[in-house]
Each structure stands twice: as C-alpha cells, then as structure tokens.
Amino acid sequence: MNDAPWMHGLHADTGYLLYRLGQRSGSAFNAALEQHGLRLRHHAILRYLATVDGARQRELADRLGYDPSAIVSLLDDLQQLGLAERRPDPADRRSRLVVLTPAGHALLRTADHDSRRVTEDLLAPLSPADRATLNDLLQRISTL
C-alpha cells in the first residue's frame, strides 16, 4: 500500500477521511496477517467462529456481510490451513457447521495480538482518552 501525502488541508471531509483511513487500516491488517497466510476476511471469520462455536455458512455470510460465495473460498483456505472444519449439520443436511480447530483457536490468539499492534500503530498519535472517544464515535456510526 501507499502512504502518500494526500492530506494538505484538502479532502478534509469526514467521509472521505474515513474512506482513506479505511483503506490504510485494511492494507495494514492484511500485511500483518500475511505471515499467517490469512487476510482480513479470514480473520473476521475466525473471530466470529471463536464466539459461537458452530456456525452455518449462511450465518457467517449474513453476520459478516459477505457474499455466500465468498464464504466458500475463505473457508476452503481456512480448512486447508487446518484452522477450521466443516462438519455435517445434524439438523439440516444441506448446511454445514463450521467450527474452529484447536490450531484455529491458537492462531486466532496470535493474530489478534498482531491486529492489536496494527491498531496501536494506527492510533499512535492519539492519547488513550482520545482513542476511547474515537472508538466510541465510530461504534455509534457503525451500528447504523
């Protein structure tokens, strides 16, 4: 990614700032996760799976806002890395229950750690109090 000097008092619009910062944090996350063979979307799935332990793919697509077809290939990756498994759903033979493997849980911990470092770098110029308010404000406009 590029860290071009696109800020010169211009483009001070908040929405545009969000867009550019989103790009920057996205690629920073991806760079950090690259060493594990993962990208941001894989990580999001791992995170979600860690909280529910057993999710249908459709549920993942809905909750994370990804296309079902995207879920397929992301899970292929995770499965090949031994981080997640697709198990038959005893209640519905159409669907699969996706669960984290022990390796998945383990990797998630270190990946979470890496992600937190990325975020800290991103928020470096801000005081702890500022970071808290920023997180709060973002949360409020994200919950729609």
- Return d(Cα 30, Cα 10) in angstroms, integer: 28
**Nearest distance from residue 138's CB to its own copies, in Å?**
4
- Return d(Cα 144, Cα 135) in angstroms, integer: 15
Of 34, 92, 121, 130, the one binding DNA (CB under 7 A) is 92
- The reply on whether position 58 binds DNA by CB under 7 A is yes
Residue 127 interacting entry, from DNA, its own copies, none, C-beta within 5 to 8 Å by type: none
**Nearest distance from residue 68's CB to its own copies, in Å?**
12
Q: What one-character DSSP code corresponds to residue 101?
A: -
Of residues 56-85, those binding its own copies (CB under 8 A): 62-65
Q: What one-character DSSP code corresponds to residue 97?
A: E
Pick the closer one to its own copies by CB: 110 or 133.
Answer: 133
Sequence length of the chain is 144
**Nearest distance from residue 8's CB to DNA, in Å?**
19
Report the chain's C-alpha Rg in angstroms.
18
- Return d(Cα 117, Cα 123) in angstroms, integer: 10
Of 51, 93, 128, 143, the one binding DNA (CB under 7 A) is 93
Q: Cα-Cα-Cα-Cα dihedral of 36, 34, 143, 55, to 10°? A: -40
- With CA atoms as reference, report the closest residue to 26 among 51, 52, 2: 2
Pick the closer one to DNA by CB: 23 or 133.
Answer: 23
Q: Where does this chain bind its own copies (CB under 8 A)? A: 2-8, 10-23, 25-26, 28-29, 40, 44, 47-48, 51, 62-65, 115-116, 118-119, 122-126, 130-131, 133-135, 137-144
